[in-house]
Chain A
Amino acid sequence: MAEIAHHHAEAEDPTNVTNPEHGSHHIVTPRVYAMVFGTLLLFTAITVIAAFIDLSWANPVIALFIACFKAVIVILFFMHVKYQSRLIKMTIASGFFMFISLIVMTLSDYISRSWGLW
C-alpha cells in the first residue's frame, strides 16, 4: 500500500505530468498589438530612409539589423512567444541555429577556397 501511495505521489508530482513544459496561456491585448504595429511601420520607414543615405558598408548591416529587430518583435508579440513555454522558445532558437549553421558552414567553404592552392 505504501508503495502504491508512493507511486501515486510520483504521479501527482508536477514535474512528472504529461507535459513538463506548461506555458500559462496569456491573452495579448489590442493595445500591445497596436504598439507593435506602430513600431513596425516606424522601422519600415526608417529602413527605407536609411537605404537612400550612402553609408557604404553600413547600409546592408543597418537594413538587416532593422529587419531582425522587426522579426523579433513580430515573433515575441504577434506570435505570443514572449508568453510561451520554454519549449517553444527553444524550438524557434534551434530553427534559427540550424539556419545559421547551414549558412556559416557552407560559406566557410566558399570563403576559404581562395586561400588554398586549388
Chain B
Amino acid sequence: MSSTATIVSLPDQATARLPKRSYLNNEDGLLSWLLTGDHKRIAILYLISITFFFFIGGAFAGLIRLELLTPQPDLVAADTYNKFFTMHGIIMVFLFLVPSVPATIGNFLIPIMVGAKDLAFPKINLLSWYLYVVGGIMVLAALVLGGVDTGWTFTTPLSTHYLNTHVITAALAIFVAGFSSIFTGLNFIVTIHRMRCPGMTWFRLPLFVWSNYAASLLMVLGTPVLAITLVLVLLERVFGIGVFDPTKGGDPLLFQHLFWFYSHPAVYIMILPGMGVISEIISTFSRKRVFGYTAVAFSSVAIALFGFFVWAHHMFIMGVSNYSALVFSLLTMLVAVPSAIKVFNWAFTLQKGSITFETPMLYAFGFLGLFTIGGLTGVFLGSLGMDIHLTETYFIVAHFHFVMVGGMLMAFLSGVHFWWPKMTGRMYPESLSKLAAVTTFIGFILTFMPQFILGYLGMPRRYHAYPPEYQVLNVLSTAGATVLGVGYMLPLLYLGWSLKYGAIAGDNPWQATGLEWQIQSPPLTENFIEIPIMDHEAYDYEWLEQKQKNEVTTVG
C-alpha cells in the first residue's frame, strides 16, 4: 500500500521558528528540571529514565537469546542465566511496561486533553518520578551486588527460603516502584474527575483519557496488594516465619493468589494505555471519528473491571480447586471479549476514511496484527485443558511478548512518534522512521513466532539448556531478536538527531483534533493561555476544518 499522500502540513521552514516561550525553555538549569512540578517536564524525565531501563532490560534479553543460540549451556553459567531472565523480567515489567505510556505520554497529555493547566498534584507527580528512580537504582544495586535469580514472579518458597541472592533489595525496589505507579494512577483519576475544562463531558474525552483512567483504577486498587505480598515475603525471609512456607504451616498458594491478584491486572495496566494511543492515531490518520466511541470507551472500563477477577488462571495446574478453576476460566473468556470489540472498532474506523500511512499509523497497524495474535493465543491459555500443556512453556512466553512487546511497545513507539512534534516542536525523519517501524515488525514476528511452536513442542520457559531438537527454532528466534534490536536502536538515533535538526513541526502537523494540537508545540508551561471551553465532540474533523477556515479569514 505505497501511498504518496500525506496529511503532514509543516509551516514554511524558511520562516518557521520554535516558539520563544515554552515549557522547555521557560526555566533553565538542571535544578529547574529536578524540582519541576510541570507534568510535561516530569513526562520528559520519565521518558528518559524508562528509555534507559528499556535498553538495559533489552540488553539482558539479547544475552538470553545469545545463550539460547545453542542447546548446550555454553555462554554463561546456569545461575548467571537465571539472573539474566530475572533482571529482564523485573526491569521490563516494573520499570518499563507499567510506567511506559501512562507516565510518559499520559503524564504529558492527560492534563492537556482534559483542558487543565497541570495534573491535580504536581508535587506528588514529581514524587512518583523520584520513587521510580529510587526503585530503579535499587534494582541496579541488586544487579551490581550480584543479581537476583527468583524470576520476576518471586515464587515462594523458592524466593523465601532457598535462594541467597539479593531478593530483599529487588523486592523492596519493586515495592517502591509500585508506590510510584500508585501515585501516578491516583493523580490521573483525580485530574480526570476534577479538572476537566468547561464543556468537557465524559463522552467528549479522547479515548486515550478513558483507557488511562481504566488503567489508573487498576494501579490504585491492585498495586497495594502486591506491596503487602512483598512485605510478607520480606518478613518471611528475614525472620524465617512461615506464612507461605508449608513446613511451618503456611500455604505457598496464598502467595500465588495475592501475587497474581496484582500481577494479572498489571498486564491490563500495561496494555490499556497502549490501546488508548492506538485509538487516537487510527482516528487521526483516517480522518475519522473512532468507530463506536462509546463501545471502545466502555470496553476499556470493562477490561479493567473483569481484569480483576481472572487472576487464578495463572494457577490452573498449581492445585487450585478445580471448581474455582472453572469459574476463573469462564471469566477469562469474558475478559477476552472487550479486547475483540476494540480491535473490530479500530478496523472499522478505517472504513470510508481517508487513510494515510505515516510512521505512527504503521506502528498502529503493527499493533493491530500482533495484538490480535497475542489476544487470541491468550484464549488458548485461558481454556483449562489447553492450558495444562501450554503453560510454563515457550508458548506462554510468546503469548505475553506478543501482547506486551508486539502490542504495548508498538503502541508506545507509535505514540512517541505521533506526539514527538508536540513534545519537542520538531519532526523526525519520516522515511527512516518508516524503515524502523517495518524492521521492528519483521524482527518481532521472526523472534516470537517460532516460540509458539517451541511451546507446543514442550520447551519449558526459563531453561538455560534445552534438548538439541529445539535448536533450529531457537536460532530463528535469536536471529529475529537481532533484527528487533536494530529496529529499537534506530528510533533512539534519529529521534535524538531530530532534537536539533528536525524540521519545525508547527502547532498541528497531523491536522489532529485533540486539544493538545490546538496549542503551540512545544506547549507553554501552563498549557493554555486561557482555559479552553470544549464545544465539540472528540475527533470532530468538521469542527477542525471550520476552525482552520476561521483562522485563515482572521489572518487574511
**Nearest chain-B residue to A3 (Cβ)?**
B535
In the bound assembly, the distance between CA atoms of A8 and B535 in angstroms comes to: 8
In the bound assembly, the distance between CA atoms of A103 and B253 in angstroms comes to: 14
In the complex, the answer to whether A16 meets B201 with C-beta atoms within 8 Å is: yes
Is A112 an interface position by the 8 A CB rule? yes
Q: How far is the CB of B368 from chain A (nearest CB, A)?
A: 32
**Nearest chain-B residue to A108 (Cβ)?**
B324
Is B198 an interface position by the 8 A CB rule? yes
Tally of chain B residues near chain A (CB < 8 A): 26
In the bound assembly, the distance between CA atoms of A34 and B322 in angstroms comes to: 53
Bits for B283-310, please: 1 = Cβ < 8 Å to A, else 0. 0000000000000000000000000110
In the bound assembly, the distance between CA atoms of A112 and B322 in angstroms comes to: 8
**Nearest chain-B residue to A15 (Cβ)?**
B201
Interface centre among B197, B323, B324, B533 (most CB of A within 10 A): B324
Q: How far is the CB of A61 from chain B (nearest CB, A)?
A: 25
In the bound assembly, the distance between CA atoms of A111 and B375 in angstroms comes to: 32
**Nearest chain-B residue to A98 (Cβ)?**
B221
Task: Give every chain A residue within 8 A of B221 (Cβ-Cβ).
Answer: 94-95, 98
In the bound assembly, the distance between CA atoms of A40 and B378 in angstroms comes to: 51
Pick the contact of A101: B253, B308, B321 (CB < 8 A).
B308
Kindly identify, within residues 85 to 99 of chain A, every residue whose CB is under 8 Å from any CB belonging to chain B: 87, 94-95, 98
Interface of A is mostly: helix
Task: Give every chain B residue within 8 A of A21 (Cβ-Cβ).
Answer: 193
In the complex, the answer to whether A18 meets B308 with C-beta atoms within 8 Å is: no
In the complex, the answer to whether B327 meets A87 with C-beta atoms within 8 Å is: no
Interface centre among A8, A110, A117 (most CB of B within 10 A): A110
Q: How far is the CB of B253 from chain A (nearest CB, A)?
A: 8
In the complex, the answer to whether B321 meets A109 with C-beta atoms within 8 Å is: yes
In the complex, the answer to whether A11 meets B199 with C-beta atoms within 8 Å is: yes
Contact residue range for chain A?
20 to 34
In the bound assembly, the distance between CA atoms of A110 and B69 in angstroms comes to: 43
**Nearest chain-A residue to B312 (Cβ)?**
A109
Tell me the number of A-to-B contacts counted with CB atoms below 8 Å: 70
Is B63 an interface position by the 8 A CB rule? no
Task: Give every chain B residue within 8 A of A87 (Cβ-Cβ).
Answer: 193
Task: Give every chain A residue within 8 A of B193 (Cβ-Cβ).
Answer: 19, 21, 87
In the complex, the answer to whether B320 meets A17 with C-beta atoms within 8 Å is: no
In the bound assembly, the distance between CA atoms of A69 and B201 in angstroms comes to: 37
Is B434 an interface position by the 8 A CB rule? no
Q: How far is the CB of B387 from chain A (nearest CB, A)?
A: 16
Is A118 an interface position by the 8 A CB rule? yes
Bits for B307-339, please: 1 = Cβ < 8 Å to A, else 0. 011001000000111111001000000000000
In the complex, the answer to whether B535 meets A10 with C-beta atoms within 8 Å is: yes
Is B196 an interface position by the 8 A CB rule? yes
Is B549 an interface position by the 8 A CB rule? no
In the complex, the answer to whether A112 meets B324 with C-beta atoms within 8 Å is: yes
Is A105 an interface position by the 8 A CB rule? yes
Is B195 an interface position by the 8 A CB rule? yes
Pick the contact of B322: A95, A101, A116 (CB < 8 A).
A116
In the complex, the answer to whether A112 meets B194 with C-beta atoms within 8 Å is: no
**Known contacts A7-B533, A11-B199, A17-B198; A112 and B308 CB within 8 A of each other:** no
Task: Give every chain B residue within 8 A of A7 (Cβ-Cβ).
Answer: 199, 533, 535
Task: Give every chain A residue within 8 A of B341 (Cβ-Cβ).
Answer: none
In the bound assembly, the distance between CA atoms of A18 and B199 in angstroms comes to: 8
In the complex, the answer to whether A112 meets B323 with C-beta atoms within 8 Å is: yes
In the bound assembly, the distance between CA atoms of A118 and B316 in angstroms comes to: 12
Q: How far is the CB of A30 from chain B (nearest CB, A)?
A: 30
**Known contacts A10-B535, A11-B535; A101 and B320 CB within 8 A of each other:** no
In the complex, the answer to whether A18 meets B324 with C-beta atoms within 8 Å is: no
Is A115 an interface position by the 8 A CB rule? yes
In the bound assembly, the distance between CA atoms of A10 and B537 in angstroms comes to: 13
Task: Give every chain A residue within 8 A of B253 (Cβ-Cβ).
Answer: 109
In the bound assembly, the distance between CA atoms of A108 and B253 in angstroms comes to: 13
Task: Give every chain A residue within 8 A of B324 (Cβ-Cβ).
Answer: 105, 108-109, 112
In the complex, the answer to whether B309 meets A115 with C-beta atoms within 8 Å is: no
Q: How far is the CB of A95 from chain B (nearest CB, A)?
A: 7
Interface centre among A112, A117, A118 (most CB of B within 10 A): A112
Q: Give the B-binding residues of A (Cβ under 8 A).
A: 7-8, 10-11, 15-21, 87, 94-95, 98, 101-102, 105-106, 108-113, 115-118
15 contacts between A and B (CB under 8 A): A8-B533, A16-B198, A16-B200, A19-B196, A94-B221, A102-B225, A102-B261, A105-B327, A109-B253, A109-B321, A112-B324, A113-B319, A115-B323, A118-B319, A118-B322
